[in-house]
Amino acid sequence: MTISELWRPMTPADLPAVQDLAEIVHPLYPESPAVAAERLALYPAGCLVAERDGRLLGYAVSHPGLLGRPPALDVLLGGLPEAPDCLYLHDIALLPQAHGLGLGSALVAHLLALAKAAGFPVLALTAVNNSTGYWQRQGFIPHQSSHQGDVALAAKLASYGEDALYLARAVD
């Protein structure tokens, strides 16, 4: 299957359903509806939804970012960085009935192509909910900050919980 068969661009009309899905899939990681709305307004190319038979199965929100500097949970960006060096996957949520449909791997392939076309050498994310193993199978590895004991990164990751891990994957 291609990305167009699985995912489509998110629209403002999707935002209420995106928020509903977020509350189901990520109850421990609540974000204001303004977060997804802002990301969609700032970088629509990075915001997608997956649906089947008119029902939302999942969504993904990504945007240009700075490697090793993810936004904290539930924080508005206020704008995109002037010199972004990665595409950051801020959020992906899939309902249990979407598991096994290939949505995750199709999304990663799409985001890698999007990052490459935009000139970003890296795709990055913060793994939560014990998802690190899944992301490692998708080619992501823990990102080693150039600043040992990076306090800013640790503080932002703390907003996502104890198991949060910042991961990155080179864009081939």
Give the CATH number for residue 122: 3.40.630.30
Q: What is the pTM of this model?
A: 0.91
Average pLDDT over residues 21-33: 92
Average pLDDT over residues 146-152: 57
> Based on the structure, what is the number of domains in the chain?
1
pLDDT at 147: 46
Binned at pLDDT 50, 70 and 90, residue 146 comes out as very low
Q: Provide the residue range defining the domain that includes 24.
A: 3-170
Residue 25 to residue 117: CA distance in whole angstroms: 30
Task: Name which of 104, 62, 106, 103 is nearest 86 in CA terms.
Answer: 62
8 A C-beta contact, residue 123 and residue 84: no
User: Token pair of 23, please?
Assistant: 């509350």
**More confident site: 1 or 93:** 93
**φ and ψ of 113, to 5 deg:** -65, -40
- Judged against a pLDDT cut of 80, whether residue 5 lies above it is answered with no
**More confident site: 168 or 163:** 168
